[in-house]
Amino acid sequence: MNCDAPVEAAAAQRARAALRHLAQRRLPPTPDQYAMAWRAVGGADACRGRDELGGTLGQLIAHLLRQLELPHRHWTAARKKEALGRLLAAHGSEPAALVERLNRLIDSWQSVPIDGPADPSALPRAPGPAAGRAAVANAAPAGPLVPDAAHSPPPPRLQRLVDDMTDLLVAVCDTVPALVEEEAWVRQQFDAIRDMLRPAGGVPDRRDMAQARALLRRTAEEHQRLLKMRRDSLQMMKTMIAQCIDWLRALTESSGRFGGKLNTFVEEIERSPDLPALAGTVRHLIEETRSMYAEIDASKTDFVQASERARLLEDEVSRLASELSAASAQVMTDHLTSLLNRRGLERSFDELAGRCRSERRALSLALLDVDDFKRLNDALGHQAGDDALRHLGRLLRVRVRPVDLSARYGGEEFVILLPDLDEAQAAEAVRAVQRALTSDVFLHHSRQVFITFSAGVARVRDGEALDDAVARADDAMYEAKRSGKNRVCVAARPAG
């Protein structure tokens, strides 16, 4: 092929194709964008283009392999490989498009929330579960091959250091509970902290670390209060035991003295020569008896008071046990929405699924994901995002049935367990929540902000694990996202 012969008609045709390329993707016709579009439609010299494309693919594949090995929040290795497989199947025969889509996929792995408001249209949606498939299906033209420093992943050495520090903190969470007397209660607190350090996405973000610090601080405060109460209780018990010993010793001494005097009075009575002498001895005996009775009565009063203090101490210990039980229950609750958290969901799912299986009752699971949540965060700030999640959490508490269980699964995802409903009935129940969210609008600084969610519903199979049921609901939720968002899709039942 002659690669040096210019063809004006072909160049004009490519120029028109480049403009159509920009228009179809709604990109501004800047010089950089036009140059990218020109290359995308084959406007570069064919032979040189093949050489450049080969070099670009080589760099891109090396970069892709590095990113596959690095952990990214919300992206497991399996999800990355699945997204990559779909992309290769769809664009493997189109080298230029393949480069573009691969760049976009890598960018979605590296995307992180931005602190503070930003232009929501300038950023892609934050990746969540099934985001790999969404990135392949909806990928826009890629940016530069090599990401800039602001969005590049940490160097491998720094990443290893972060991983080592995380492992150290997890080891601390495993070790500390064994060093204290209240192992069961403290272990619950540290298990929750460990879950925050090892979230579902694999790498904790700043919000996870803040929650872990808050829980650690609260655990330390509660433990210090418990230790103080134990020290006070121990000191009170020591004081009571010492008093009891003193009282018993005093009673013993008094009884000994009274016994000796009683023997003396008996001898005097036997030796009394006349009635007046006998009367005097009896009078002394009565006085000593009254004195002994007064000592016994005083000791009885002291014992009654000590018994009352012991009862109050027992009541205080019982109250503390109730507070610790309440604190343990809070470990199962999401601090932001007051719904169940991931740990609470896991425990509730095991109990509810077991009951439904033994009683042959249906159980469905719905996975909800707030639509365009990253745009809301970027446009209005993280506080508005937190308030929106609280609003949805409150709505779930009041709109679902009392027998249903709602939980915040992580980030902007929620799970509802719906016993006695098949998948079709559960989908209708979730649609009712969608309608309620439309009528009960979220207010941010007295301004209405419309939020929606997409949902997937799956019927829980006998013996199915929570993660497997969530994965099937996640597939259905992705279909709802792809179908236009603010929808509910039902996971298909297995054949047979």
Residues with a known catalytic role? 412
Pairing of β 413-419 and β 442-444:
unpaired
Residue 117 phi/psi, 5° resolution?
-65, 150
Strands 447-449 and 442-444, by their bridges, are antiparallel
For residues 30 and 38, what is the distance between their CA atoms, to the nearest angstrom? Answer: 12
Q: Where are the alpha helices (DSSP H) in 272-372?
A: 275-331, 342-358
Q: Which residues contact 397 (CB under 8 A, 6 or more apart)?
A: 338, 339, 406
Q: Which residues contact 150 (CB under 8 A, 6 or more apart)?
A: none
Nearest to 280 by CA among 289, 296, 269, 290: 269
Distant-in-sequence, close-in-space partners of 240: CB < 8 Å, separation ≥ 6 = 306, 309, 310
Q: Do the beta carbons of residue 352 and residue 419 sit within 8 Å?
A: yes
Partners of 443 in the beta sheet?
Answer: 448
Residue 146: how many other CB atoms lie within 10 Å = 11
Q: Give DSSP secondary structure letters for 153-166.
A: PPPHHHHHHHHHHH
Q: Find out whether 63 and 107 touch, Cβ atoms under 8 Å.
A: no
Q: Which long-range contacts (CB under 8 A, 24 or more apart) does 199-202 make?
A: 199/73, 199/410, 200/74, 200/342, 200/410, 201/72, 201/73, 201/74, 201/75, 201/76, 201/410, 202/71, 202/72, 202/73, 202/75, 202/76
| d(C-alpha 415, C-alpha 474), whole Å | 10
Region at 312 (left for phi over 0; alpha for psi -120 to 50; beta for the rest): alpha
User: How many CB atoms are closer than 10 A to CB 116?
Assistant: 8
Q: Count the Cβ atoms, other than its own, within 10 Å of residue 447.
A: 9
DSSP string, 51-101: HHHHHHHHHHHHHHHHHHHS-BTTB-HHHHHHHHHHHHHHHTT-HHHHHHH
Which residue reads 């707030």 in tokens?
Answer: 370
